[in-house]
Structure 1
Amino acid sequence: MSGSRHELRVVAPGGTPEVRPGDDLVALLLPLVALRDGDVVVVTSKVVSKAEGRVRPGTRDDALPGETARVVARRGPTMIVRTHHGLTMAAAGIDASNVESGTVVLLPLDPDASARALRATIRERTGLNVGVVVTDTAGRAWREGQTDIAVGAAGLLVSESFEGRDDAHGNTLAVTAPAVADEIAGAAELAQGKLGGRPFAVVSGRADLVLPPGEDGPGAVALVRAEGADLFGYGAREAVLRALAGSPDDRAPFGAPAADGEVTAAISLVLGVDADPDGDGLAVPLGPEGRAVLAALAFAHGWVLDDNDSAGRLRVRPSTP
């Protein structure tokens, strides 16, 4: 069974000059495209950053500390970090391509604010109601290659929820929430290309996602999982290091305290002993020699190593907020 035909159209115009600090991006865009109500204007973060003066002398390594909220994973020279925006990206999204030698481009300070400003200016000058997406390129866990994602958005539903709805076979959808802002970013990049010098694109055919004038929506920040809500808050090696180090500052990405049964199973698997319920925690029949490993296991599960119980056993309990 098939529904009615639906068409999505993506246009990425050529002719954009090199963008400099202070340039008016809307003035550069409007002569190149014929916008309509309900279109989605897609702009690469690189030209937004250039116009906003986010170009810096130096290398990625020079700029990385200032753009990093915390390290997520390291493999050799590659460093994946969480930026101050909450984005998780290689080298904090700092770009050394398509920019003068000896300089790098940082991400916009607030990509959602940049998208809102572009949308408001387009409305002001044309009277049209459009959505705006600011994009950047990112890798994905479990997948080779990169794709563009939305780092900023305005006037757009950034995700759709199908939870509770039935499919054509009567199955109820449980957790189905397409990140449509990311899908729009990826579709636009297919037309823009990496080397084509086409930083703008216009996506037509999804006016249903564009919000009414004056409503900018939650922005792309709504697609960023909160600290502790992501199952992969650290890379495999980094998680081991952080758990063993046990710094309170590193606790949040491990998430909320795990259930007793999960902690009991982990202790049995790693230490080969059975933990017993003990008030609000667990008593573990280990001597001082097992303390360091148990402390790391507890930390990784959102628990803490407590004082020994009356029988001299080690004791762990959930950490308090």
Structure 2
Amino acid sequence: MPGFATRIAEFAEREGINYDLLFSHYWLSGEVACLLRPGFAGGWAHIAHTLGLVKNQTLATGARPEPALRIRVEGEIAQQADLLIASTADESMELVSAYGADPKRVFVVPPGVDLSTFQPIDRTEARRKIGYGSGRLLVFVGRLERLKGVEIAIRALALLRDRSHDDVRLLILGEDSKDADESEKDRLKAVATELRVRDRVDFLGSVVHHELPFFYAAANVCVMPSYSESFGLVGLEAQACARPVVGSDVTGLRSVVRDEVSGYLVGGHDPAAYAERIGRLLDNPELAEQMGLRGRLLAQRFSWTRTADRLEDLFDGVIERAQVRVHASARQE
């Protein structure tokens, strides 16, 4: 990171660029901003996306804790950044209570969803597009790591199959990760084989963004059994496509999914509880459709236009205050 920060500083000096604002995402780019900040007169805004201390409080069995370096860097960011953007009110409180951030510098700005891309599509057409025919589909979208709870979804599928839902298939979309020095995809395949549902679980890897709506629309239910989420963007995208969500009752998902309105929020990590909620929706297509339509209405509150307008207002304030500091410093000299 120091080398990357040095190259940015050298580029700015060589090109004669004076940046008005540093905007860092995640703790790694936040570390770069920490290093750049002393040499820049402009303001600094940061969005964490996830917080290491919060992730460590809700680790899945066998998952590797976030390193002490990350926790330390996140603490420095919380103390130094002019503006800290949280995705939810819960995350803003965590920044204050766990990292000692000044509440006056923390603002909640939920991410948005592209409602023109993620929108309802006829299920038959969506399935034709992705190469699936009849049979009910569950979809999981996200990076394959223990934090995301994909094993819970597989175990729930096995329970559903035992309950005569023999046509149900689970589509898993997302890149593999090396959690605890092993391939999470290989581990999940072994779990599916052990539970005798390997023939009903499709690992499809990463999917380009503009094709995601077809997978959401093709599914009967979107499943999000995460141990922790800073914001439930996948759930929001699924709802924008008018599909119900069965997810974990964690802060990030509570902000976008309404329990028993647009889906179900499940407390704890019991696959049987997930199987029961998923089964309700599979056995009652009318209920699933109603929840999906309500989810679409909820998603319309999270447009990118609204998010961008709010960020622009906050950035303008940071830049203005930075300029005041520069002028005050110049007068003192």
Report the TM-score, using the length of structure 2 for normalisation: 0.27
Q: Decide which structure has greater strand share.
A: 1
Q: Decide which structure has greater helix share.
A: 2
Larger radius of gyration: 1
